[in-house]
């Protein structure tokens, strides 16, 4: 009971498990760790942003996720997005491409071009990026298990078109550890998969130093059920595993750390999300400086794309997702992201229509042009609530990382399935809370109407003729390429993989000979084997 004899209000907790007080004061900031870590934008520990002027100098890159069907169809969508003001491309690949299958593989049946662009050879990249200026538009490749092959194709395509790949900017997702946790498009066992990530980092450090070969994805871990603390902690543990691997192979931290990037999720409590990123930016800077002795400030930057929040969207009352997307964009801007990508309102159930994609793009543009989000840096800084949350979340992220390390490290826990099991269990518990109404979701378990059940939704059509067209192109290319040259290049890839060498030079040579994604993947499978997923109870 309160002193006045009235019942105490029910405690409120955020998703990270922190109790939210009714009022915050300077005493809360001091009790949580003080204000010394706030600093200034563009200065260590970068709590307020990695650039001094942030959006005053340059607004965030707008990079909508796009790609479906054939390279021709994807090229049309790319051009349409650019014409409508998009400033970066984020390429979706179909499932066969993601797991290293050619379009004519029997296991690819029914999936060619369904959830992304089908890619079999360098020829498909030539078509998809025809007419797109790679100096003006940076490209992100959302690919993981087959990332080394697709990175090679992108760089080979750029070089073929006359670009200096030492000056090419772009990103590949290429975060295989999160695939084991959150998505499942793995191919090879854990250790050789990490080795392939290391191969791309070392190759790009030497040959394409402005290219970011890895975007570590807390996003998919959160979408799979993790809370905001686990999202950041697991992502940092994964990033450190890649850093440790590359350092062990002889590269200096300041030769590659500045090109590491991150992909994070946004949905849920606005203030928790903003504080999550401010805490993460500060913690990553300290990790790079204190644990790895980085001296280049750019090595300490948490470079990130944020703004998706697909897990927050609903099939029910889908127009509500337009409002949700606007709030996710607001959170992303207040969080200090460098790149923003919003899920479109119909993305809860289908590939976005042009109308939905345009609304998401216009949402970001409205924030830039009309809402004042670019006027000043980190406008929530100094808020007693935000600074307290920032301090508290940093401590919880550190504690989670220390727990992972104490249990054997992220690589061991992923290889044995423990992280996957923990995230899956939490996803199940969250679903039960949603069903019980403990987690409130507008249009799902509150403010529902009878009309919602009858509301039709429009699905993106899957066209069988796309598969036929892709297979026909693949057959024609196999007939015209130099088979002896291809076979020799594939032998080199296999030899490099078996010898433990960096496979990227051999893969680059093979893709230029028009070896297929499936052929190259099979070479690597022969050397590394295939991953068998552990089942934990």
In order along its 537 residues, the chain shows pLDDT tens digits of 444 555 557 899 999 999 999 999 999 999 999 999 999 999 999 999 999 999 999 999 999 889 999 999 999 999 999 999 999 999 999 999 999 999 999 999 999 999 999 999 999 999 999 999 999 999 999 999 999 999 999 999 999 999 999 999 999 999 999 999 988 899 999 999 999 999 999 999 999 999 999 999 999 999 999 999 999 999 999 999 999 999 999 999 999 999 999 999 998 999 999 999 999 999 999 999 999 999 999 999 999 999 778 899 999 999 999 999 999 999 999 999 999 999 999 998 888 999 999 999 999 999 999 999 999 999 999 999 999 999 999 999 999 999 999 999 999 999 999 999 999 999 999 999 999 999 999 999 999 987 766 667 777 777 788 889 999 999 999 999 999 999 999 999 999 999 999 999 999 999 999 999 999 999 999 999 999 887 665
What is the model's pTM? 0.95
The set of residues, in sequence order, having a beta carbon less than 8 Å from that of 427 and lying 6+ positions away, is 224, 225
- For residue 1, the model assigns a pLDDT of 45
Note if the bond before 222 is cis, omega within 30 degrees.
no
| Residue 351 backbone dihedrals phi, psi, to 5 degrees | -65, 135
- For residue 308, the model assigns a pLDDT of 77
DSSP 369-421: HTS-TTSSS-TTTT-HHHHHHHHHHHHHHHHHHHHHHHTT-HHHHHHTTHHHH
Q: Quote the mean pLDDT of the chain.
A: 94
The kind and range of the H/E element at 323 are helix 320-335
> 6: which DSSP letter?
P
Distance of CA 257 to CAs 212, 322, 510, Å? Answer: 10, 36, 28
Upper half-sphere CA count for residue 146 (Cβ side, 13 Å) = 30
As a whole number of Å, the end-to-end CA separation of the chain is 42
> 257: which DSSP letter?
G
Chain-centre distance for alpha carbon 311: 14
- For residue 7, the model assigns a pLDDT of 54
- For residue 309, the model assigns a pLDDT of 81
Cβ atoms within 10 Å of 131's Cβ, excluding its own: 8
Q: Is 477 exposed, middle or buried (0-12, 13-18, 19+ CB in 10 A)?
A: middle
Contact 291, 418 (CB under 8 A): no
Distance of CA 324 to CAs 275, 320, 449, 457, 506, Å? Answer: 19, 6, 19, 18, 46
Strand, helix or coil for residue 137: coil
- Two structure tokens written together for 191: 């250790």
| Residue 378 backbone dihedrals phi, psi, to 5 degrees | 50, 65
Cβ atoms within 10 Å of 8's Cβ, excluding its own: 7
Q: What is the distance between the alpha carbons of residues 92 and 117, in angstroms, rounded to a whole number?
A: 6
Distance of CA 256 to CAs 59, 210, 504, Å? Answer: 25, 10, 16
- For residue 537, the model assigns a pLDDT of 53
Q: What is the pLDDT of residues 107-153, one digit of tens each?
A: 999 999 999 999 999 999 999 999 999 999 999 999 999 999 999 99
Q: What is the distance between the alpha carbons of residues 152 and 168, in angstroms, rounded to a whole number?
A: 13
- For residue 6, the model assigns a pLDDT of 55
Strand, helix or coil for residue 170: strand
Q: What is the largest CA-CA distance in the chain?
A: 88
Q: What is the distance between the alpha carbons of residues 294 and 201, in angstroms, rounded to a whole number?
A: 17
Percent of the chain with pLDDT over 90: 89
Contact 65, 357 (CB under 8 A): no
- According to CATH, the superfamily of the domain at 85-91+130-454 is Methylmalonyl-CoA mutase (3.20.20.240)
All structural domains of the chain with their residue ranges: 85-91+130-454
85: left (phi over 0), alpha (psi -120 to 50) or beta: left
């Amino acid at each position: 009971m309160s002193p006045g004899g009235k019942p105490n209000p029910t405690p409120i907790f955020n998703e990270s498990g922190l109790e939210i007080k009714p009022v915050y004061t300077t005493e809360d900031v001091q009790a949580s760790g003080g204000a010394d870590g706030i600093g200034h934008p563009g200065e260590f520990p970068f709590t307020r942003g990695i650039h001094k002027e942030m959006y005053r100098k340059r607004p965030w890159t707008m990079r909508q996720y796009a790609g479906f069907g054939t390279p021709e169809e994807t090229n049309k969508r790319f051009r349409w997005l650019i014409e409508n003001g998009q400033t970066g491309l984020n390429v979706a690949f179909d499932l066969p491409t993601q797991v290293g299958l050619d379009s004519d593989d029997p296991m690819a049946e029914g999936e060619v071009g369904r959830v992304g662009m089908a890619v079999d050879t360098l020829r498909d990249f030539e078509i998809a990026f025809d007419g797109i200026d790679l100096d003006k538009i940076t490209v992100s490749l959302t690919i993981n298990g087959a990332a080394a092959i697709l990175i090679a194709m992108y760089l080979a395509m750029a070089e073929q078109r006359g670009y200096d790949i030492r000056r090419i900017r772009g990103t590949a997702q290429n975060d295989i550890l999160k695939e084991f946790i959150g998505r499942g498009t793995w191919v090879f066992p854990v250790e050789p998969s990490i080795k392939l990530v290391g191969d791309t980092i070392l190759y790009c450090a030497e040959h394409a130093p402005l290219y970011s070969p890895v975007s570590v994805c807390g996003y998919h871990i959160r979408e799979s059920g993790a809370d905001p603390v686990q999202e950041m902690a697991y992502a940092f543990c994964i990033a450190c595993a890649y850093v440790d691997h590359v350092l062990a192979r002889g590269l200096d931290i300041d030769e590659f750390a500045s090109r590491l990037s991150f992909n994070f999720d946004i949905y849920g409590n606005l203030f928790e999300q903003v504080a999550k990123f401010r805490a993460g930016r500060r913690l990553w800077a300290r990790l790079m400086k204190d644990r790895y002795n980085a001296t280049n400030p750019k090595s300490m930057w948490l470079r990130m794309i944020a703004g998706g929040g697909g897990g927050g969207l609903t099939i029910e009352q889908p127009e509500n997702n337009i409002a949700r997307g606007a709030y996710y964009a607001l959170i992303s801007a207040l969080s200090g992201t460098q790149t923003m990508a919003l899920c479109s309102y119909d993305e809860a159930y289908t590939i976005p229509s042009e109308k939905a994609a345009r609304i998401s793009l216009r949402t970001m543009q409205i924030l830039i042009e009309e809402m004042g989000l670019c006027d000043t840096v980190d406008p929530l800084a100094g808020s007693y609530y935000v600074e307290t949350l920032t301090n508290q979340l940093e401590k919880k992220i550190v504690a989670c990382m220390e727990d992972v390390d104490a249990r054997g490290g992220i690589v061991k826990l992923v290889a044995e399935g423990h992280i996957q099991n923990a995230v899956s269990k939490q996803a199940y518990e969250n679903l039960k809370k949603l069903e019980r109404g403990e987690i409130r979701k507008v249009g799902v378990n509150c403010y529902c109407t009878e009309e919602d059940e009858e509301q039709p939704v429009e699905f993106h059509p899957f066209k069988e003729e796309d598969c036929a067209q892709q297979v026909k192109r693949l057959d024609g290319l196999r007939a015209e390429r130099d088979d002896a040259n291809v076979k020799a290049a594939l032998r080199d890839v296999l030899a490099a993989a078996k010898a433990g060498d960096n496979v990227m030079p051999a893969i680059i040579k093979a893709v230029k000979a028009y070896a297929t994604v499936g052929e190259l993947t099979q070479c690597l499978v022969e050397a590394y084997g295939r991953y068998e997923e552990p089942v934990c109870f």
